Structure 1
Amino acid sequence: MASKYIALPKGISEQTFDAAVRDFSRVLGDESVLTAPERLAPYIKTMMPVPDSEHTLSAALMATTVEQIQKILAICNKYKIPIWTISTGKNLGYGSAAPAERGQVVLDLKRMNRILEVDKDLAYALVEPGVTYQQLYDYIKERNLGLWLSVPAPSAIAGPTGNTLDRGVGYTPYGEHFLFACGMEVVLANGDVLRTGMGSLPNSNTWQVFKWGYGPYLDGIFTQSNYGIVTKFGFWLMPAPSAYRPFVIRYQNEEDIEEIVEIMRPLRINGVIPNAVVIAHALYEAPVIARRSDYVTGPGSISDVAVRKLVKDHNLGIWNVYAALYGTEEQIALNWKIVTQAFGKSGRGQILTQQDVGDDPAFAYRAALMRGDMNLQEFSLYNWRGGGGSMWFAPVSQARGSETLKQMSLTKQILAKHGLDYSGEFIVGMRDMHHIVDVLYDKTDPAQEKAAYQCFDELLTVFSAQGYGTYRVNSAFMDKVASTYGPVQRQVHKTLKKALDPNGILAPGKSGIR
Structure 2
Amino acid sequence: MTAPTPFPDSALGRFREAVRTSGTAGRLAGPERSAARGHDTLDWPHPAAAPLVLLLESEDEIRAALDLARREKLSIHPVSSGHNWGYGTARPASADTRVLFDLSPMKRILAFDPDLGVITVEPGVTQGQLEAYLAGRGAEFMVPTTGAGPDCSLVGNALERGYGMTPVADHFQAVLGLTAVLADGSLYRSPFPGASPDQTGPAGYRWGSGPYLDGLFSQNGGAVVTSLTLQLMPRPAAVEMFVFWLKDDADLERTIAAMRGLLTRSGLSIGGINLMNAARVGALAGEAALKGAPWIGTGVVYGDTGVVRAGRKVLRRALKPVAARLAFVNSQRLRLAETLARLPFIGRSLSPVVAPVRSAYRMLAGHPGEFALALAYGAAPRAMPHSRRDPARDGCGLLWYAPIVPMEGRAARRYIDMVARICAAHGFAAPITFSTLSVSAFDSTVPLLFPRDRENSDRALACLRALIAEGRRLGFPPYRFHSGLMDEATAGNDAYWQLAGRVQSALDPDGLISPGRYRRRPPADALAPLLQETLA
TM-score over 0.5 (shorter chain): yes
2:218 matched residue in structure 1: 223
Q: How does 1:86-485 map to 2 (within 5 A)?
A: 86-104=79-97, 105-199=99-193, 204-206=199-201, 208-270=203-265, 271-290=267-286, 310=287, 315=291, 317-344=293-320, 346-354=321-329, 355=333, 358=337, 360=353, 361-386=355-380, 388-428=396-436, 429-444=438-453, 446-484=454-492
Partner Cα separation in structure 2 for residue 229 and residue 418 of structure 1: 38
User: Does residue 1:84 correspond to 2:92, yes or no?
Assistant: no
Question: Which digits, 9 at most, give the CA deviation of each residue in 1:20-50, with x for residues without a partner?
Answer: 222222345798224x654421011111252
Partner Cα separation in structure 2 for residue 79 and residue 30 of structure 1: 14
Identity of aligned residues (%): 25
AA at the equivalent of 1:98? R
Question: Which digits, 9 at most, give the CA deviation of each residue in 1:449-470, with x for residues without a partner?
Answer: 2321211110011111122111
Alpha carbons 1:182, 1:236 under 8 Å: kept: yes
Partner Cα separation in structure 1 for residue 23 and residue 157 of structure 2: 26
Alpha carbons 2:192, 2:206 under 8 Å: kept: yes
Alpha-carbon distance, 1:207 to partner: 5.5
Question: Which digits, 9 at most, give the CA deviation of each residue in 1:78-136, with x for residues without a partner?
Answer: 22211011011111111111222224211000000101112110011100000001001
Question: The residue matched to 1:275 in structure 2 has which SS?
Answer: strand
Alpha carbons 1:285, 1:362 under 8 Å: kept: no
Alpha carbons 1:426, 1:433 under 8 Å: kept: yes
AA at the equivalent of 1:58? P
Alpha carbons 1:64, 1:112 under 8 Å: kept: yes
Alpha-carbon distance, 1:320 to partner: 1.3
Alpha-carbon distance, 1:204 to partner: 4.5
Alpha carbons 2:290, 2:296 under 8 Å: kept: no
Alpha-carbon distance, 1:208 to partner: 3.7
User: More deviation in 206-215 or 433-442?
Assistant: 206-215
AA at the equivalent of 1:503? D
2:525 matched residue in structure 1: none
Partner Cα separation in structure 1 for residue 477 and residue 145 of structure 2: 24
Q: How high is the TM-score relative to the length of structure 2?
A: 0.85
Q: How does 1:24-43 map to 2 (within 5 A)?
A: 24-28=19-23, 32-34=27-29, 37-43=31-37
1:6 matched residue in structure 2: none
1:500 matched residue in structure 2: 507
Q: How does 1:9-88 map to 2 (within 5 A)?
A: 12-28=7-23, 32-34=27-29, 37-51=31-45, 53-54=47-48, 56-88=49-81
Question: Which digits, 9 at most, give the CA deviation of each residue in 1:252-295, with x for residues without a partner?
Answer: 433332122100112112452421211122222223444xxxxx
Question: The residue matched to 2:95 in structure 1 has which SS?
Answer: coil
1:304 matched residue in structure 2: none
AA at the equivalent of 2:238? A
AA at the equivalent of 1:282? A
Alpha carbons 1:33, 1:60 under 8 Å: kept: yes
Partner Cα separation in structure 2 for residue 191 and residue 318 of structure 1: 54
Alpha-carbon distance, 1:489 to partner: 1.1
After superposition, the Cα gap between the structure-2 partners of 1:452 and 1:473, relative to the gap in structure 1 and judged at 3 Å, is same
Partner Cα separation in structure 2 for residue 154 and residue 395 of structure 1: 18
Question: The residue matched to 2:300 in structure 1 has which SS?
Answer: strand
After superposition, the Cα gap between the structure-2 partners of 1:364 and 1:463, relative to the gap in structure 1 and judged at 3 Å, is same
Alpha carbons 1:460, 1:481 under 8 Å: kept: no
1:300 matched residue in structure 2: none
Partner Cα separation in structure 2 for residue 94 and residue 28 of structure 1: 34
Question: The residue matched to 1:497 in structure 2 has which SS?
Answer: helix
Question: Which digits, 9 at most, give the CA deviation of each residue in 1:187-218, with x for residues without a partner?
Answer: 10000001013139996434542212221111
Question: The residue matched to 2:491 in structure 1 has which SS?
Answer: helix
Please list every run of 5 or more consecutive structure 1 residues that lacks an aligned counterpart in the other structure.
1-8, 291-309
Question: The residue matched to 1:126 in structure 2 has which SS?
Answer: strand
Alpha-carbon distance, 1:10 to partner: 5.3
Question: The residue matched to 1:94 in structure 2 has which SS?
Answer: coil
Question: The residue matched to 2:147 in structure 1 has which SS?
Answer: coil
After superposition, the Cα gap between the structure-2 partners of 1:77 and 1:376, relative to the gap in structure 1 and judged at 3 Å, is same
Alpha-carbon distance, 1:11 to partner: 5.8
AA at the equivalent of 1:489? Y
Alpha-carbon distance, 1:493 to partner: 1.3
After superposition, the Cα gap between the structure-2 partners of 1:283 and 1:28, relative to the gap in structure 1 and judged at 3 Å, is farther
AA at the equivalent of 2:303? G
Question: The residue matched to 1:170 in structure 2 has which SS?
Answer: coil
Q: How high is the TM-score relative to the length of structure 1?
A: 0.88
Partner Cα separation in structure 1 for residue 296 and residue 356 of structure 2: 10
Question: The residue matched to 1:187 in structure 2 has which SS?
Answer: strand
Question: The residue matched to 2:509 in structure 1 has which SS?
Answer: coil
Q: Between Structure 1 and Structure 2, how many residues are aligned?
A: 482
Please list every run of 5 or more consecutive structure 2 residues that lacks an aligned counterpart in the other structure.
339-352, 381-394, 522-536
Partner Cα separation in structure 2 for residue 82 and residue 10 of structure 1: 13
AA at the equivalent of 2:323? R
Partner Cα separation in structure 2 for residue 502 and residue 240 of structure 1: 45
Partner Cα separation in structure 1 for residue 518 and residue 471 of structure 2: 18
Alpha-carbon distance, 1:426 to partner: 0.8
After superposition, the Cα gap between the structure-2 partners of 1:151 and 1:462, relative to the gap in structure 1 and judged at 3 Å, is same
AA at the equivalent of 2:275? I
Partner Cα separation in structure 1 for residue 236 and residue 26 of structure 2: 46
Partner Cα separation in structure 2 for residue 146 and residue 493 of structure 1: 40
Question: The residue matched to 1:358 in structure 2 has which SS?
Answer: helix
2:348 matched residue in structure 1: none
